[in-house]
A and B are shown apart, each in its own frame.
Chain A
Amino acid sequence: MSAAPKTRVPFTRRDAALLALAGGGAALFLWRAGSGPAGGWSWSAILSFFVRRDEAGGGPLPGILLEGLRTTLALSAWSMVLALVLGAAVGLLAARPQGGARPRLLRRLCAGSFVELLRNTPPLVLAFLFYFFVGDQLLAALGVEEAARALPRGGQRLLAALAAPPARLVAFASAVLTLALYEAAYIAEIVRAGVESVERGQWEAAYALGLSPRQRLARVILPQALRRSVPALAGQFISTVKDSSIVSVISIPELTFQAMEIMAGTQRTYEIWLTVFACYLLLCLALSLASRRLERRLSAGGRR
């Protein structure tokens, strides 16, 4: 690892002026926001939306925003996993290895229409579409909700913690499907580009050594392709977290939806949205940081 050379950056008078300008702007914004129709900042109420006291006299319980954060996390995690599997499959279907033949027409058609259909439509529309078609029709016909209700209490509680309680499971599933498919279209392109970036000689060496097609892909090509795709994939994962706010329109009680609910009840507009802003920022920053570390770890080992 080569450390970036440290250069001293002088702090000039112009920097001081710009800093003062930015600070003044922020102060003005906070003052204006604080003297709105609701009058004065009221941050203490926000805390109670994260942790509330049990009215029956028990310990602290998760508040409505914390519940929203949990749902956002569950939604994003399921969508990411599903999107990665689906996206990798579609990407491999469409990939044309260097020096290899173009994939068959059927494969290209399937992968191409998957990517283009999902990439060229707004995710908001997809959310409605999947909610009404897949959720209301398909999953209802399959009896997903009844199956979830038939689970023992422990199973139901686990399901609620990892996904959603039975009553909301169908909506949750269609939300995951929406996000997963939408992100998978982009991941497919990332994986395809990664596979196509691996040099022809790698395929040839693996072939000449007698590896089977599957072994060539899994043991030689994919490890290199995925390593090169880590930054792009991390970006897509961060997008998934942010895009998960879209499914608030189908009443998934995730962070954004919960914020809208609280806002309707309390009119504490600025406090709530600044809080939600900070929550998303922290979540995505953490992911971003993790991907940087992963990238550094990978490049410390085998380099290209």
Chain B
Amino acid sequence: MAFQADRCDPARAEAKVLGGVIVEARGLRKTFAGGIEALRGVSLAVRQGEVVVVVGPSGSGKSTLLRCLCGLETPDAGEVVTDGARLPGSRRDRDRIRTETGMVFQHFNLFPHLTALANVTLAPRLARGLPADRAEAEARALLGRVGLKDKTGAYPAELSGGQQQRVAIARALAMRPKVMLFDEATSALDPEMIGEVLEVMRGLAAEGMTMVVVTHEMGFAREAGDRVLFMDQGRIEEEAGAAEFFLSPRGERARRFLSRML
């Protein structure tokens, strides 16, 4: 598969300078009511500036892993440490992880009663205590960065899916997170809108944002990912550099998954 080989530049991984570990998960386990074991001992370390892509069949625990990383789920066992703050932990730690971890949801979850601008300024004003004019200036800059400079006054219902998701990304960035989590950010979008969101995500990756991305977009995983985790049945089955994973998956299950996806 020659086209794959020349698309992933082997020199790139070396060229990117990664910092120390900023997000670490150790032995995460989570069983939901009803006995579904979503996570069966997941450990992971993400270094600063790294883009980790998590792939796997649905129901493999990818989303639960992300939700544990940002504090939306409390694991039954194991812990998450982000920039020194621990989960499960004190309220202070929980609040620090919430504000330092940006989350982008599959269904955007924009606040429908607020304009795009107000969606972006809300959290900085309330949780970071930024004065309104500064929050607004920052929000305008962020909305410009995701290509929505002229949509600041629009309500979510007046925006397309792709535009809504870009507002959601700007909203998460407004808290100046140390790491961004993307939970199937393009899965709810019409095909023609996926590109504009992936474009923004690629831009973020190129700027050195630390990212954990759950996605079914294998093209994005290959091009923007530094490392790929393949999850199945609540475990990380395989872990490899993005180029290596797509060229030669080791396990049988990963190979079968890839043959279905590509």
A residues with a Cβ closer than 8 A to B are 199, 201-202, 204-212, 215, 219-220, 223-224, 227, 301-304
Contacts and interface: CB of A to CB of B under 8 A. Distances in A.
Given A224-B113, A302-B113, A211 B155 contact: no
B206 interface: no
Given A202-B111, A304-B157, A210 B99 contact: yes
Given A301-B155, A302-B155, A208 B98 contact: yes
B105 A223 contact: no
Interface string B101-121: 111010101111111000000
7 contacts: A201-B107, A204-B103, A204-B109, A205-B110, A208-B71, A210-B123, A212-B126
Contacts of A201: 105, 107, 109
B51 interface: no
A56 B175 CA distance: 73
A207 B103 CA distance: 10
Nearest to A99: B72
Interface residues of B, number: 31
A208 B101 contact: yes
B175 A209 contact: yes
A210 B72 contact: no
B112 A208 contact: no
Nearest to B113: A302
B111 A204 contact: no
B118 to A, nearest CB: 9
Contacts of B105: 201, 204-205
B112 A304 contact: yes
Given A201-B105, A201-B107, A201-B109, 4 more contacts: A205-B168, A208-B98, A209-B171, A219-B126
- Top 10 A-B pairs ranked by shortest CB distance? A210-B99, A205-B109, A210-B127, A201-B109, A209-B123, A303-B157, A208-B103, A302-B113, A302-B155, A210-B98
Interface of B: 70-72, 95, 98-99, 101-103, 105, 107, 109-115, 122-123, 126-128, 155-158, 168, 171-172, 175
A224 B113 CA distance: 7
A303 B171 contact: no
Contacts of B155: 301-303
Contacts of B111: 202, 205-206, 220, 224
A204 B66 CA distance: 13
B72 A209 contact: no
A202 B112 CA distance: 9
Contact of A302 (B98, B102, B114, B168): B114
B178 to A, nearest CB: 13
Contacts of B95: 210
A209 B122 contact: yes
Contacts of B126: 211-212, 215, 219
Contacts of B172: 208-209
Nearest to B97: A210
A148 B103 CA distance: 57
